[in-house]
Each structure stands twice: as structure tokens, then as C-alpha cells.
């Protein structure tokens, strides 16, 4: 049987997996980043135990990734940072995704009871 802390960490992993794999590949341009950030956060916040999600899609990274005349690129983890808070039975997990050496690294920032 998992502890509440273990379950809270598991829930954070589920939320990140859902966020990343649901939205990776979505067409994005500097003009659409704010609306996509909001849609991503609101979608994941619907899941159980999710208190908050903050998605930041970096306009400069998006602009740099556009390599054709159509004015958009596909969303990847390297274009965004994400922070989320999970509350499972009083255990609060803060987790984040940041690009480290070109790779979107998802990690636990804190676990507190």
C-alpha cells in the first residue's frame, strides 16, 4: 500500500504525463501562446487532487523554433516551463518542468505534509 506522500507524487507524475503527451505537437505561434497556456492549465486542473497549474510558453523560444513560412511550430517541452501543485490527503506536492541542457526535465520541487 502506498503512503499518502507516495500517492501524491504519483498524482503529480500522472498530471505531467497527461499534460505533456496531450499537448505535445500542438501548433503554436507567438500569437497563440497565452491561449494555449490557459487551455493546458485548465485542462489539467480538472484532474483529481490538482490544486493549480501554471504553464509558461516562451514566445522567444517559439519564434526561434519556427522554421517555415507558415508562422507556427509544434509545441515541445523545450518551449515551455510548467509548475503544478497537488494536494492528496493533506500532502502537498510542488512539481515543475524546466528545460535543462535542451531537455524538458520534470521533477519534484517539494513534498510537505
Q: Cite the annotated binding site for substrate by residue number.
A: 11, 106
For residues 52-71, one letter each, b for 16 or more C-beta atoms within 10 angstroms of the residue's C-beta and e for the rest, the string is: ebebebbeebbeebeeeeee
Q: How far is CA 43 from the centre of its chain?
A: 11
Q: What are the residues whose beta carbons fall under 8 Å from the beta carbon of 37, sequence distance 6 or more?
A: 55, 56, 57, 80
Tell me 79's DSSP state: G
Point out the annotated binding site: 11, 106
Amino acid at each position: 500500500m502506498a503512503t499518502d506522500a507516495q500517492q501524491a507524487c504519483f498524482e503529480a507524475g500522472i498530471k505531467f504525463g497527461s499534460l505533456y503527451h496531450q499537448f505535445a505537437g500542438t501548433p503554436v505561434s507567438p500569437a497563440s501562446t497565452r491561449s494555449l497556456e490557459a487551455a493546458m492549465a485548465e485542462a489539467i486542473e480538472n484532474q483529481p487532487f490538482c490544486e493549480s497549474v501554471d504553464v509558461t510558453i516562451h514566445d522567444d523560444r517559439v519564434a526561434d523554433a519556427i522554421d517555415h513560412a507558415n508562422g507556427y511550430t509544434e509545441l515541445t517541452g523545450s518551449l515551455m516551463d510548467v509548475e503544478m501543485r497537488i494536494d492528496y490527503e493533506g500532502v502537498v506536492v510542488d512539481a515543475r518542468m524546466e528545460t535543462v541542457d535542451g531537455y524538458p526535465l520534470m521533477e519534484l520541487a517539494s513534498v510537505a505534509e
